[in-house]
Structure 1
Amino acid sequence: MRRFGWNANTYKSNENGNAPFSFDQAVIYSKAFKVRAEWLYSAHGSMRADSQIPIIGRVGADPNGRIIRTAGQAANDTVPQPVGATSDSVAVEVDGHSMRGFADDGALVYFEDQSTPPTEDMIGEIVVVQVATGEDPSDDEDILIKRLQRGSRDGLFDLESINGPPMRDVRIRWAAEIIQITPPRQARRLIRRGLA
């Protein structure tokens, strides 16, 4: 506190919540602590302006719906955390042209990595899903972006492609709502490639 020239009693009262502080004071504190003033003042958004989230892999399919990429990444690639994201947010890179016009080749798709089963309000929506290919969840790495529809019976779903035939009566491990899609040109500027 002395290092910044702040009154120790005032700062302690601000820090423990006994004395509210103005946004102008939050700006002063934020510069000292290298955090965003908006976060410090109202706990809104990410703590740091450069908060990064991981890219967990690539997602895509050819026009016939065959999966051409799966989740998983060797490098520690990251992108800035989008507005509305949480600590569970992740991104995938789109590979291929099966979602042309929605998420083009090279786009980033952000979602919450919570691994929860699909909910009723996801029916009819385009979501990120993990296809259940076997009994062991660790065997499943097929991640797709599809419109989720009810299947012919409970526990099965139809996955509609943007540019291809639907996948009928598929078991899925989890479904997640999309937070944001960043077009390819902007995505190339945002991605920080890690070391392999």
Structure 2
Amino acid sequence: MDERFQRLRVARTEKGFDTAAAAAEAFGWNRNTYASNENGNAPFSYRKAKEYAAAFGVRPEWLYDASGAMRPGAGPGLVKVIGMVGANPEGVILYATGQEADDLAPIPPGGTENAVAVQVSGHSMRGLADDGALIYFENQHFPPTPDMLGHVVVVETDTDEVLVKRLLRGSEPGRFDLESLAGPTRHDARLRWAAHITAIIPPYQARRIIIRG
């Protein structure tokens, strides 16, 4: 698999998608663009490699230039803590910041090896998750589904923000209102993906189970 597009095809088939069109539909990608990326007619960027890698459960470095192992090596029964989630100085917007740390945590009950976690920093999520808590979600980047409406979920906007918000219906199809636990509601956001929260571990227990890198 010397070529980038060949690795993309392998990642897609091993994820269980028989065709490029099926994968594009599942993740909300443009079919023609994805097909061109996979057949080698249009080489994709590293930024796009990160998106594809997250969807197919492989490492972006492997997908982009064959660097290292194909899949993340968290270890049996462990998943990665991928960042911190908190609030900006005004206490308005909840956000997640990516980290390169090697922190790990056990897979939560009902979770899978595709799960990841973020650790809460600060008190902007009081009532849902206190400072130091772990929030788990499945790292599968699918568009929002109707069963997510009214629930607090993890989302990524088209402006590259990863947020923990209550998902509400927007004013038109394809738009969503994002209700904060503290601060005003963001109206009519466009989302790349949304994921249910699968577990929240309180701070005391989180401190005991996190394996620091």
When the two structures are superposed, what TM-score results if normalisation uses the length of structure 1?
Answer: 0.66
Match of 2:163 in 1: 144
Q: Percent identity at matched positions? A: 55
Check the 8 A contact 1:53/1:79 in 2, yes or no.
Answer: yes
Check the 8 A contact 1:82/1:180 in 2, yes or no.
Answer: yes
Matched, 1:78 2:78: no
Matched, 1:160 2:179: yes
After TM superposition, the runs of 4+ consecutive aligned structure 1 residues lying more than 4 A away are: none
Matched residue pairs, number?
138
- Which of 118, 122, 125 is 1:96 aligned to? 122
Offset at residue 163 of structure 1 (A): 2.1
Match of 2:79 in 1: 53
Q: What residue identity is the alignment partner of 1:147?
A: R
Encode CA deviations 1:88-137: one digit per residue, 9 max, x unaligned. Answer: 1110111222210111111100010001110011111110111211xxxx
> Within 2, Cα distance between the matches of 1:93 and 1:162?
16
Q: What residue identity is the alignment partner of 1:167?
A: R
**Structure 2 unaligned residues grouped into runs of 5+:** 1-75
Greater fraction of residues in helix: 2
Matched, 1:127 2:148: no
Match of 2:193 in 1: 174
Higher Rg: 1
Check the 8 A contact 1:98/1:161 in 2, yes or no.
Answer: no
SS of equivalent to 1:70: strand
> Within 2, Cα distance between the matches of 1:188 and 1:105?
11
Q: What residue identity is the alignment partner of 2:210?
A: I
> Within 2, Cα distance between the matches of 1:79 and 1:64?
27
Match of 1:23 in 2: none
> Within 1, Cα distance between the matches of 2:106 and 2:132?
16
Check the 8 A contact 1:149/1:158 in 2, yes or no.
Answer: yes
Offset at residue 70 of structure 1 (A): 2.9
> Within 2, Cα distance between the matches of 1:74 and 1:161?
27
Q: What residue identity is the alignment partner of 1:131?
A: T
Matched, 1:66 2:85: no
Match of 1:107 in 2: 133
Offset at residue 64 of structure 1 (A): 4.3
SS of equivalent to 1:103: coil
Check the 8 A contact 1:55/1:79 in 2, yes or no.
Answer: yes
> Within 1, Cα distance between the matches of 2:140 and 2:152?
17
> Within 1, Cα distance between the matches of 2:132 and 2:157?
22
Check the 8 A contact 2:93/2:183 in 1, yes or no.
Answer: no
Check the 8 A contact 1:60/1:144 in 2, yes or no.
Answer: no
- Which of 190, 193, 196 is 2:209 aligned to? 190
Aligned Cα root-mean-square deviation (Å): 1.8
When the two structures are superposed, what TM-score results if normalisation uses the length of structure 2?
Answer: 0.61
